[in-house]
Amino acid sequence: MENLTAGQFNLIYNAFSFAFATFAASTLFFWLGRGQVAAQYKTALTITGLVTFIAAYHYFRIFESWGEAFTFVDGALVATGTPFNDAYRYVDWLLTVPLLLVELILVMNLARSETITRATRLGLLAALMIVLGYPGEIATSAGERWLWGSLSMIPFLWIVYELFVGLSKSIAQQPEDARGLVNTARWVVVLSWAFYPVVFFAGAIGIEGAMASTIIQVGYTIADIVAKSVFGVLIYMIAVRKSGDLMSSSPRAVPAE
């Protein structure tokens, strides 16, 4: 990252600040919205807000770390020698990625035993995916990167299978006006996650330099915002719609949107 221009530095700096603001605002949105959904969906919104809260914390750290890694001397950008700590991302994902899948299961409001089984399975697979990816991220050889990256793809593909085959029947049983949103939500998970292995393996085939770093940092930031905030808004909309259905069948039950 030594040859980063001031423009590239600033773009990344602003992207991190943008992400912090987005996640902090999203957290408040989800938690304020808890009052507007039926009791059985409140936990889903609590967790949706937790995911963006944890992400806000990590983006604050990432932003600070980025600011400490560079300085301006007479208007020119200079590395300070303090390394930029990219590992905050893995710490974040280890917490947030399992929780993301749990919020999707919770908002579906399945039978209790199915909720526990599916949330546990998806949560553990997600944690395993992150844990297996990390040794590849810090590996010094392309071979190790390929090895750990490939291992990490096993739980990833299993999660995709669970979402698109395992959950099919349960999605078909969702109320009609929520079904399309649940379907969109699982696609948002899979498509936003697809960016991470692309970046990971770009490192393994030797793509690097200032421009690659810029694309990676800004790309991770966009992928995180889609996977957490945009996904969270879908969870919120599903919860509000399903609460509205409840309300129309029992007039006093729930304040809707």
Site residues for a second copy per CB under 8 A: 6-7, 10, 13-14, 17-18, 20-22, 24-25, 28-29, 31-36, 39-40, 42-43, 46-47, 49-50, 53-54, 57-58, 61, 72-75, 81-83, 85, 87-88, 90-92, 94-95, 138, 255-257
With beta carbons less than 8 A apart as the criterion, state whether 36 and 255 touch: yes
Nearer to a second copy, 25 or 154 (CB): 25
Nearer to a second copy, 7 or 157 (CB): 7
Nearer to a second copy, 127 or 207 (CB): 127
Nearer to a second copy, 206 or 251 (CB): 251
CB of 198 to a second copy, least distance (A): 23
Beta strands in 97-207 (DSSP E): none
Distances, alpha carbon 55 to alpha carbons 24, 50, 72, in Å: 8, 8, 28
CB of 49 to a second copy, least distance (A): 8
CB of 59 to a second copy, least distance (A): 11
**∠ at Cα 242 (162, 119), nearest 5°?**
30
| Euclidean distance between CA atoms 187 and 1, whole angstroms | 34
CB of 257 to a second copy, least distance (A): 6
CB of 183 to a second copy, least distance (A): 16
- Within its chain, how far is the Cα of 186 from the centroid? 12
CB of 76 to a second copy, least distance (A): 9
The burial class, CB within 10 Å (0-12 / 13-18 / 19+), for 155 is buried
| Euclidean distance between CA atoms 224 and 95, whole angstroms | 13
Q: Which helix (H) or strand (E) covers residue 150, if one does?
A: helix 142-161
Nearer to a second copy, 18 or 201 (CB): 18
**∠ at Cα 240 (235, 241), nearest 5°?**
100
CB of 245 to a second copy, least distance (A): 13
Nearer to a second copy, 88 or 220 (CB): 88
| Euclidean distance between CA atoms 26 and 31, whole angstroms | 9
61: tokens are: 């750290």
| Euclidean distance between CA atoms 101 and 192, whole angstroms | 13
Nearer to a second copy, 6 or 205 (CB): 6
